[in-house]
Amino acid sequence: MVRNGLASEDYLNPKQFFKRTSLTGNLTGLAAEVIRRLYGERTQTSPVFNLAT
């Protein structure tokens, strides 16, 4: 829905989204791991992520 512009303003506006959302330690770590992988860095962890809410 975000990609198609059909989500609520809370999700379409990045400033509003991050104003209302706090990054947990685990989410911050996951984001850092994804960025390292995108830059081609190899780590000891699997390149496949299993996410659960």
**Cα–Cα distance for residue pair 33/31, rounded to 1 Å:** 5
Reported as a single tens digit per residue, the pLDDT across 2-47 is 999 999 999 999 899 888 888 788 888 888 888 888 898 877 777 7
pLDDT of residue 53: 61
Instruction: Confirm if 46 and 40 have CB atoms less than 8 A apart.
Output: no
pLDDT of residue 28: 86
- DSSP H stretches of helix in 1-53: 9-12, 14-20, 25-38
Here the tokens at position 46 are: 């699997």
DSSP code for 44 = S
**Cα–Cα distance for residue pair 31/21, rounded to 1 Å:** 15
pLDDT of residue 7: 94
